[in-house]
Amino acid sequence: MKFYTSMPESLKPYFKAELDKYRTEYSIGNLQIAWNHLERAHIIGQKYPYAHTFVHWKMLQFGIKIKSGKEIIGQIPRLIFGGVKSFVGKIPVGNPGGANVPPLKPFPIEQELQNIFAKARIDII
């Protein structure tokens, strides 16, 4: 069994870029675009416990900001268990992380994100 701990250096700039884009869009009120960047950050970071947990924390804060009970309730177990599942390598690959999707369902990864993983020389699965 492979244990995942920290995100490889080659992937960090892409993860950070998505979080930066999230903050920018959020700050100017483009909430749907901001959320999309959080989902992308989730997919990029979901293999790594700290990054995975951090994105769920941001998603919980987002749910509170938009007063979405569904998102708030949905993020709590994801926040608690997401990092643990990452650590032991049991993640639903491609899952965007929001409460609007089943937490354990894998999803296809869009081509642009596949290209990011390829450039960073990271296996998606």
Query: Hey, where are the domains in the chain?
Result: 12-119
**If pLDDT is split at 50, 70 and 90, which confidence band does 117 have?**
very high
In the predicted model, what is the mean pLDDT of residues 97-102? Answer: 94
Query: What's this model's pTM, rounded to 2 decimal places?
Result: 0.93
Instruction: For 42-81, write each residue's pLDDT tens digit.
Output: 999 999 999 999 999 999 999 999 999 999 999 999 998 8
Cα(6)–Cα(4) distance, integer angstroms: 7
- CA trace torsion 34, 94, 7, 70 (10° rounding): 50
